[in-house]
Structure 1
Amino acid sequence: MMEGLIDGFFTVLEPYHIFILFLATVIGFWGGALPGISGTMLVIILLPVTYAMDTVSAFLMLTGIYGASVFSGLISAILFRTPGTPEAVATVFDGYPMTQKGEAGRALGIGVISSAVGGLAGTLALVFLTPLLADVALNFSSPEFFALAFLGLTVVASLSGKELTKGLIGVCFGLFLATVGMDSMSGTPRFDFNMTNLRTGIELIPILIGLFAISEIMKKSREDHTLADTVKKVKTKIYDSSIMRRISFTIGRSSILGTFLGILPGVGATTASMLGYSEAVRWSKHPENFGKGTPEGIAAPEAANNSAAMGALVPLLALGIPGSATTAVILGAFVMHGLQPGPSLMTNNSELVYAIFVGAIFLNLMILIFAKPFISTFVYLMKVPYTILAPFIAVFCIIGTFAVRNSLFDVWVMLLFGAIGYFFEKARFPMATVILGVVLGPIAESEFRRSLQMAGGDYLVFVTRPISAILIGLAIILLLTPLLKKWKQEKHIKKSIDKTG
């Protein structure tokens, strides 16, 4: 591990890679701080750009944007009561009241230091836990890989929230899209409707950009995104010894909680921030102060969401299971670059993995260094309506999609999925579930069929092998838990109605 970290350190220290990481940090800052643009959208938009880059540069760019955007959502949350990213929703509760009391600089400083500490905690977990999980997974065969893919697909239960049925429909739709094109094992065309462009399947890039970026543009273009609030000059104070003594325990607790939740597939940084905030209230001696501008109310969600963002990369790199919606997109980027996250990645591409580890450490240091000048710039420049930003985003999406294969057909596919995504949003379909189906579908199908060939058609191969049996059992539990909770709630409501007549 130490040898790998040293090699990764020297890889990241190359001037070009430092520049890529700096660029990713700046892009992530802007994307996270601007309402209407999330880290997920930025990763999707820049996915085609990374296609022409070497793998180390590409994934330093994508993971850097992801981490920086999770951090910078707190800026607009504190200054304008408008969270730049979903992960910063809980930061509004106490961040904006501090701004109203004239303590915006103090609130931003608390957010910056909490985010950096939380991010470093999640990065340490990423460095030490990923190789351990990968070592265990090196003994996997086809049944275990199918079970892993199946477990990854059941993340739909977490990504769907209360809309499990819609989530299942979404993942099934994604699985269907994954079957379009040539059968990888028999070479038989499937669902191509005699169209040459569909013979090789539907490219991942048009689906991603259409479902997320184009649909978001269509939705946001109907809203006013001008930041109408005016904020006077803000002087951000990154370190305050008296405040640090007060919030240090909160930061530590939330960092550990966020890291644990981030490693769990499908939980995500948004959930971690809310739970971090609720635990801060639970542990506080003065819970009545929360919501009125208390420092712990900023430190808790920011430490939790940044540690969870880094923690979500652990199951992605070690097992090939996305820990969040954004890491599901990054999983697609690995596939696009001809790589398969999982135990073999640590063995065959250790230079890339350790470069990602070291890049995450550098990213958190860059957040500390560049947060203050960025906030000063953001306060004065970013009062831009979305109607100005949206056309630039749309043009970039079209150019990026076309550039992957120089195919106009892909552009039409992207626009089609943009319309589908727009109506999915209207129907409150969790679109990340579609991506799960598209990305994990081919893996699940091929490993399922190989397992049956290996066992001579015996379906018991999945339950007679201990690891695959445990993984499939865990997947079924994760899938059934929301249904059991809903059934219990309905039963409780029915009993209450019967008692009251």
Structure 2
Amino acid sequence: MTDILTALEMIFVPLNLLGLIFGVGAGIAFGAMPGLSVNMGLALLFPLTFTFQGMGGILILIGIYCGAIYGGSISAILLKTPGTPASVATTLDGYPMATVLKQPGRALGLSTLASTFGGIFSTICLIIMAPQLAKVSLQFSKPEYFALAIFGLSIITSVSSGSVIKGIMGGVIGLFLATVGIDAMSGEIRFTLDTTYLLGGVSFIPILIGLFAFAQMLTTVEEYYHKQTGLQQEVKLDRVLPSWSDFKRVFLTLVRSSFIGTFIGCVPGTGGDIASFVSYDQAKRWSSHKEKFGTGEPEGVCAPEAGNNAVSGGAFIPVLTLGIPGDGATAIMLGALMVQGLQPGPLLFVEKAPDVYAIFIGLLLANVIMSLMGFSLIRLFVKVVNVPTEILLPIIIMLTFVGTYSYNHSMNDVYLMVAAGIIGYFLNKTEFSMSAIVIGIILGGMAEQNFVGSLIMSDGSFSVFWTRPICLLFLTAAFISLLSPFLGKLLRLKK
């Protein structure tokens, strides 16, 4: 009870609460703007969080994370242009409801209801399940942490949307970057190019902003040059509060989709886009009027939105208990926790219990704030989709430079960010996974240090990795995870 009261004190510091509200609002705006993404919003505003002490910075990122997933539905419904990949399935019934049925307010209201329901549902599951998993994880030692890091690295085959080989190559790039600097175990200087700047390793934040934000801006500039996209037509809304009959009609769909989204969020390597399509498919399967899906069905709007927003709470379960990021967004969140001095893992629930409860409460509040903003300010957020590209681009590019410099007040960080952005631009062109690189950077150091520590424990014997049951379980799961895409392809070829 003392820990909960301490957590409430952290949350309800006026500056922290304002940070959470700002994060949700900024997240919705990022999600609603086509071409931007959850990852870009988190990367751009990550440096801002350093102006807040302790939990304040993390609350901003939680707000952005929750808000951006919901915000993607605004442009998906009004423009048939999903603001985020997780909202692609929402266009199937959301856009017809807004245009063919002339009910854009109803569609946005249902998406807001579903997003809130899914987010709160998954957060409650997180509160119930995470501490129990953490108790099991207390049995971990260095071999188990090494195996866990290897399992986390193995999910790069899942987060790679294109070629699995390119995903693995992206992970290798991240692992190489993780080795730059002074080796923590031996003190050896590695790959520093004889510069003092790299002695402490490659700075994570400039790489993050470069790969996710600056690289995407270069792509957007290129698309704008070719397409010359301009101002969108203004949209007029009807009422946005869902009716009681609509709520009764979609309630079972909300519960089912929230279960699906929470479960998929728990599985590293999945994400909101998978959850939204699976939820939409199941809603259609269980519907008594399947033939109407795609014409503006309320269940077709609610299912993907409940599913993709339920991923947020589910994704925090492996992040907090095991330190495994499921996708690019949770990789950024994992980095934020570590920068703020919170090392995800089972000991986090023992040593930093108030901070864990603050994250739980922050997620709940973020979803409540998102709901209030959605229903009361939806007309304002709709205007976001009408911002001309020629105005938006310079603002975002300026934010990448200012944000990178403000992190460490170093121009070397800015040069590194630009270099990472240019490389990321060409890697995007060749369908490399940026998330795989980030996961490699984050988990590479953890894998190396615990591998060396395990060998010291066992006097150099590799048997320590297969004589400990939990360690063997994770290594086996990692092996299966790495091979599953290739095995799946072989099975499809045989069929």
TM-score with structure 1 length normalisation? 0.95
2:488 matched to 1:490? no
CA distance in 1, matches of 2:449, 2:433: 26
Residue aligned with 2:442, SS: helix
Match of 2:185 in 1: 185
Q: How does 1:19-38 map to 2 (within 5 A)?
A: 19-38=18-37
Match of 2:50 in 1: 51
1:489 partner letter: R
Displacement of 1:390 after TM fit?
1.7
Displacement of 1:10 after TM fit?
3.7
Q: How does 1:66-465 map to 2 (within 5 A)?
A: 66-100=65-99, 101-224=101-224, 226=229, 228-380=231-383, 382-465=385-468
CA distance in 1, matches of 2:423, 2:384: 34
In the alignment, is the contact (CA less than 8 A) between 1:226 and 1:383 conserved in 2?
no
TM-score with structure 2 length normalisation? 0.96
Match of 2:17 in 1: 18
CA distance in 1, matches of 2:150, 2:239: 47
- 1:144-202: per-residue Cα shift (whole Å, max 9, x none)? 01111111111112101351100000000100000011111111100112122122211
In the alignment, is the contact (CA less than 8 A) between 1:12 and 1:18 conserved in 2?
yes
Displacement of 1:235 after TM fit?
2.7
Percent identity between the aligned chains?
42
CA distance in 1, matches of 2:381, 2:68: 14
In the alignment, is the contact (CA less than 8 A) between 1:80 and 1:227 conserved in 2?
no
With over 3 angstroms needed to count, the CA separation of the structure-2 counterparts of 1:450 and 1:368, relative to structure 1, is same
In the alignment, is the contact (CA less than 8 A) between 2:74 and 2:382 conserved in 1?
no
Displacement of 1:15 after TM fit?
1.9
In the alignment, is the contact (CA less than 8 A) between 1:226 and 1:384 conserved in 2?
no
CA distance in 2, matches of 1:162, 1:222: 21
CA distance in 2, matches of 1:455, 1:227: 64
In the alignment, is the contact (CA less than 8 A) between 1:401 and 1:410 conserved in 2?
yes
Match of 2:8 in 1: 9
1:125 partner letter: C
Displacement of 1:68 after TM fit?
0.8
CA distance in 2, matches of 1:454, 1:232: 65
Match of 1:496 in 2: none
CA distance in 1, matches of 2:482, 2:4: 37
In the alignment, is the contact (CA less than 8 A) between 1:5 and 1:354 conserved in 2?
yes
Residue aligned with 2:240, SS: coil
Q: CA RMSD in A?
A: 1.5
1:317 partner letter: L
2:48 partner letter: V
2:61 partner letter: L
Comparing 101-110 with 168-177, greater Cα deviation is found at 101-110
Count of residue pairs the alignment pairs up: 491
With over 3 angstroms needed to count, the CA separation of the structure-2 counterparts of 1:381 and 1:119, relative to structure 1, is closer
Displacement of 1:228 after TM fit?
4.8
Residue aligned with 1:221, SS: helix
1:367 partner letter: M
In the alignment, is the contact (CA less than 8 A) between 1:112 and 1:238 conserved in 2?
no
Displacement of 1:139 after TM fit?
1.5
Can you give the 5+ residue segments of structure 1 that lack an aligned partner in the other structure? 493-501
2:365 partner letter: F
In the alignment, is the contact (CA less than 8 A) between 1:322 and 1:328 conserved in 2?
yes
Displacement of 1:379 after TM fit?
3.0
